[in-house]
Amino acid sequence: MKLNLGCGKDIKKDYINIDILKHPGVDVVCNFEKGLPFKDNSFNYLYSKYSLEHIQDVASAISDIHRIMKQGSIAHIEVPHFSWARAYDIQHRVFFNFISMDCFSDKFQITKRLSWGEEYRFKALNLLINSIVNRMVVFYERFLCWIFPVNKIVLDMVKK
């Protein structure tokens, strides 16, 4: 089974689409900050794009994600990077940097990268900037992120 967590209007076929609001196509209406209504070890894959920044207690949410994932399954999570102007939306409760999720390395094997953009018309520039910032993340976040902000952090978290 696959879960689309915090789907909003991005309804995915062959997924259980879950959101706090009842949009057309949402299968489960739930405030996942208060817990996910699924059995332990239920899911093979979890997709979450721009949803974790909307909750206050990210640690509890990640623990619950860990609970519902099968061993060896992947949680693909995308969150806005703190340098992106849209990260400061009034609805956002928490900000993320490159090491924000490292505290969950006891539960997940985490692969992560910064992503400047995904627009097709700037594909070559995207690849170049992504390559540079991901080779020098500490230097980038300390000295360059306010000059060349990236949009997001992409995490693939494999349950141990």
Cβ atoms 61, 52 nearer than 8 A: yes
Each residue's pLDDT tens digit, 106-154:
999 999 999 987 766 677 888 888 999 999 999 999 999 999 899 999 9
Q: In the chain, where are the structural domains located?
A: 2-116+151-159
Q: What is the pLDDT of residue 120?
A: 64
Three-class SS of residue 44?
Answer: strand
What is the mean pLDDT of the segment spanning 69-76? 98
CB count within 10 Å of CB 19 equals: 23
**C-alpha closest to that of 76 among 40, 39, 115, 38:** 115
- Given a cut of 90, whether residue 71 has pLDDT beyond it is yes
Architecture of domain 2-116+151-159: 3-Layer(aba) Sandwich (3.40)
Residues in the chain: 160
Nearest to 62 by CA among 112, 101, 97, 90: 101
Token output for 105: 């390395």
How does pLDDT run across 35-59, given as a tens digit for each residue?
A: 999 999 999 999 999 999 999 999 9
Stretch (H or E) spanning 152: strand 152-159
Encoded amino acid at 150, one letter: V
For 91, counting Cβ atoms within 10 Å of its Cβ (0-12 exposed, 13-18 middle, 19+ buried), the class is exposed
pTM higher than 0.75: yes
